[in-house]
Amino acid sequence: MSRMPRKSILLVEDDPEIRALLGDFLGREGFAMELAEGGEEMDRALKRGLPDLVILDLMLPDEDGLSICRRLRARSTVPILFLTAKSDDTDRIVGLELGADDYIAKPFNPRELLARIRAVLRRTGRPSADSEPRRRFTFASLIVDLDARLVETVAGAKVPLTSAEFDLLACFIERPRRVLSRDQLIDWTRGRSAEPWDRTIDVAVSRLRRKLEAADAGAAELLTTVRNGGYLFAADVREA
């Protein structure tokens, strides 16, 4: 019986000790690792092939992680997980605004990092050809394929969502016309490891609204804020 191919991770970290330790640890956990010290090495690695996940340190000597994240998102939807030594929520929010999928603050337990990596890869993984029939839904003039993780207009134009934005939309698609609290959305999209005061979900909702509006002016109005409650997706969701 053939073995499943290993998931590949590109780790961009300037600290040689952390880079070596994480490379060895994640390699022993079954990942195909590629290591880069900064933006230039990362670019060379990407020319050889796109990984399944990029782990990106926020503080790098040649180019900061936010700038690199912006460049990556301009050309790819590859999942990005930030490593940051900063505790300021501003950096985390900016990273998520730019399209990062998750973050973890230094110092961290490698096992927690591993759990976050696996969670991101589960959320962004594509189904196999012999998997169950796809779950496709439609609302307004948009079609959402939950298994293929695709959103497009009825005319066939793709709506470019990051994996974090898609996870959020999936929560609303599966629970239309219900008020969903911030805590519920954080739990369903990021897991229990998120801080209880984490406000990044509001940033993600705002970003999702903008992209829905760009695709269909009426779609964004369906996602409303409920005072002291959370969010309500008031769409008429139907199977496609």
For 166-188, write each residue's pLDDT tens digit: 889 999 999 999 999 988 888 87
pLDDT at 2: 39
Q: Half-sphere exposure of 152 toward its Cβ, with a 13 Å CA cutoff? A: 11
Q: 164 near 78, Cβ under 8 Å?
A: no
Structure-derived torsion over alpha carbons of residues 81, 219, 203, 172, reported in degrees to the nearest 10: -70
Is the pLDDT assigned to residue 45 strictly greater than 90?
yes
Of the pLDDT bands very low, low, confident and very high (cuts 50, 70, 90), residue 3 is: very low
Is the pLDDT assigned to residue 127 strictly greater than 70?
no
| Average pLDDT value for the chain | 84
The more confident residue out of 90 and 32 is 32
Query: Residue 135 and residue 182: Cα distance in Å, rounded?
Result: 25
Over the stretch 187-216, which tens digit does the pLDDT of each residue have?
Answer: 877 654 455 445 678 888 898 999 998 988
